[in-house]
Chain A
Amino acid sequence: MRYLPLTEADRAAMLKTIGVSSIDALFAEVPAAARLDGLLDLPLAQGEIEVERAISHMAERNIVAGSVPFFIGGGAYRHHVPAAVDHLIQRGEFLTSYTPYQPEISQGTLQYLFEFQTQVALLTSMEVANASLYDGATACAEAVMMANRVTGRKRAVLSGGLHPHYRDVCATYAEFVGFDVVATDPQPGEDESLGQLIDNTTSCVVVQSPDFWGELSDQSELARLCHEKGALLVVVVTEILSLGAVKPPGEMGADIVAAEGQSLGNALNFGGPYLGLFASRDKFVRQMPGRLVGETVDAEGRRGWVLTLSTREQHIRRERATSNICTNSGLCALAFTIHLALLGESGFVRLARLNHAAAVRLAERIERLPAVRLVNHSFFNEFTVRLPCPAAPVVEALAQKRVLGGIPISRLYPDRPELADLLLVAATETATEDDMDRFEQALREVLP
């Protein structure tokens, strides 16, 4: 077996050194009834050629996003990732190291996480960011629980414009961790009047920007209403690239920002692994979940970085920790950091403009189709359209024509017939004019 260096001679010599006659002696503590004597009913070892063939065969049964006109978003976005990103994250020193518990020999990881925290704080215009969480949805649930800790309250108001998976994750945590959520109905294009739902038991209001439908709105007034009642404003961002074009949450009064960072550096990967971004006001830092990297000096006075404020964490506090989280998304955070380092100020802003421009062009084309109506008043790179018929069969028919043309809202809200005609469509810098032509043409053929 190519990954196992011990030879039979090694094994025999080692058993002799240990002073036992066979490997079974080392498993003597296992109850006899639970010992497996033979092999399990699974295939035997295979070489690289066979394994590659088997898994490639599965891969070939999927329609690759990059091989067709592709207009799907909904919290996961297809962007071009520069070649340097994947090259660098595959350096073994990054790929095969552990959490940087030994800072003297982990400065590489610690320094990039410090750079990552700084980048996240800059993008969101918040004061402090952590070293990442699992994904945007879990970051959102962690934000609510942090708001509960900060305010000493247990009731969160969730916007109807929050991604339905994020709403569902919050609801699951609420049930088992023990807090209340008030979720308003999903109503694209409508004013939610969330302010009316805030009272002095509300820990936070959670809104998404751009929201799930792609709509943009100013949260400043909502922030004021939250703060008036002692609640926090949590702003969720599922398309972090939008912050290259749109006013950041920190400038609209957000107290906590929970975001999905997949767009930068990370492939679609059928939904994971992704990258939870988490930022807040400085004064709440000791209530934050997850790892934090801080600057310090070594015994010779040289600048260096360490994991810090770990007294919040489970390995120190055990049942009194702020969160049970241990692992983060380190390598995804590295990909994000490298991609953003390559983009820099001008590249990030231009990439955002390219995305917005692509979506504007696509919206103009789709609006020209008979009986199709744009639901949004504004958008970044994603918007919702109302079709003259249920969207799910349309999307399926488009797929038959090898066009991946958006998400039917019914996939996420199957029990809401009023949303069945809605289609969520995204366009990024990867969409060409030809892709848009083919999408438009296919829609003309498929729509009644």
Chain B
Amino acid sequence: MSFRYHEIVPVEQHYVVNASVELQPNPRLQELVDGGLSIPFVAEFTITRSRWYWLDETVVERNTSFRLFYHALTRQYRLSIGGIHRNFSSFDDALRAMLTLRNWAVAEHGNLTDGETYNASLRFRLDTAQLPKPFQVAALGSRDLDLTTNWVHWNFVAQALDPR
């Protein structure tokens, strides 16, 4: 897995993250979902500010959990993001929806100082700790379930939108 693109942009009140994750076709994942397993994913985002005299200061730390599972009764794929459910008739649609982060509010304007340079880090991964134990063990050495992007780091200058 890797990020196709990632950005942090200021909108009205917040800074939002837009990103897209590229995932090679993974039949094993679909097999597990079709089999009835609820697959947990997590997106992790932090903003740090470097300090020359001490460890970097963590300004913002956000996690969002995703769950992808098959609802056999309605024959639909469901994606839970936080407390919100979305239904998809095909696995690929659901997966695509999950892998596309859009307008993820990660910080308010007040959190960041204008003009300051911050370091943003983003990662998207299969949350193995939330898997049932047998799958945790199975995931230990499995390439199909080694679903995690590397941390991507980039610097950005905080610049809130001009209220005008």
**Pair from one complex:** no
B-side interface residues toward A, CB under 8 Å?
none
